Amino acid sequence: MAITLYGAHISPFVRKVRAALAYKGLPYDIVFVAPKMGEQPAEFKANSPLGKIPLLRDGDLYIPDSSVICAWLDRQYPNKPLLPSDNVDAVRALWFEEYAGSVMTTAMGGHLFAEVVLAKLLFNRESLQSDIDKAINEEIPAIFDYLESQIAGDYLLASGFSLADIAVGSISVAMLHSDYHCDAARWPKTATYLKRLFEGEVFAPLIADEKALLASFGG
C-alpha cells in the first residue's frame, strides 16, 4: 500500500513521522502542505479536522496527528518497533513523546526556531528577542537538566533506540537549525546524545534535506 505524508519538512511533528518511516524503512511520498497557508489539497482539508500537519495516508486510511500516526505505523508495520516490548520502557517512551511534543516544542520550536528562523523567513517580521532569551536562558537549560538526568547510555532508554529518541530528536533538530547547541561542558550526556542522534542514520539524511530546503529559501 502506498504511503503519503502531508506536511512541511521543517515541522517537528512531520519530522517525527519522517524519522519513524525512515527507521522502519518504509517508502513514502510527501505532499507539501503548510498549515493555514496557501492552497491545501481537498483530501487534506477533509481528513485533518484540526487543520494541523502531519496527516498520513496509508492506502485508503487517513490518519492525523504524529503520535497517532506513529502508533499506527508500529501496529501495521511491527518490524523495527518504535515502542519497546517491555511495558515500563514502552510507557517511558510515550512519556518522552509527550514531553517532546509539549514543553520541548514550546521552547525549541515556538520560542527559538520560530523567532530565529521563521520570523524572517516566513512571517516577514522582526524576531521577538524576549522569546529567544526565555528559551535560551530558562526553558532549554531546564530541558537539558532533565534530559541529562534521564539518558541511559547511548539513548534515552537503556533498551536502545525508540520512539523516545525519535520524538526528542525531532524537536531538537529545530535547535540545530537555529544554530543553538547544547553546551557539552554543562550537559555532557545530553550533548553527546544529541550529536549521536543528529549524525545517526535516521536523522542525518532528514537534516541534510532540511538544510538544503532552508538554504533555498534564504535561511
Binding site for ligand GSH (CB under 6 A): 11-13, 35-36, 51-54, 65-67, 101
Min dist CB 206 to ligand GSH, Å, is 15
Min dist CB 153 to ligand GSH, Å, is 27
Pick between residue 76 and residue 106 the one whose CB is nearest to ligand GSH: 106
Pick between residue 34 and residue 152 the one whose CB is nearest to ligand GSH: 34
Taking the C-alpha atoms of residue 59 and residue 1, their distance in angstroms, rounded to an integer, is 5
Min dist CB 106 to ligand GSH, Å, is 11
Min dist CB 11 to ligand GSH, Å, is 4
Pick between residue 54 and residue 169 the one whose CB is nearest to ligand GSH: 54
Pick between residue 13 and residue 193 the one whose CB is nearest to ligand GSH: 13
List the end-to-end C-alpha distance of the chain, in Å, as a whole number: 36
Asked whether the beta carbons of 93 and 162 are under 8 A apart, the reply is: yes
Asked whether the beta carbons of 18 and 203 are under 8 A apart, the reply is: no
Asked whether the beta carbons of 113 and 175 are under 8 A apart, the reply is: yes
CB burial readout 176-200, b (16+ within 10 A) else e: bbbebebeeeebebbbebbebbbeb
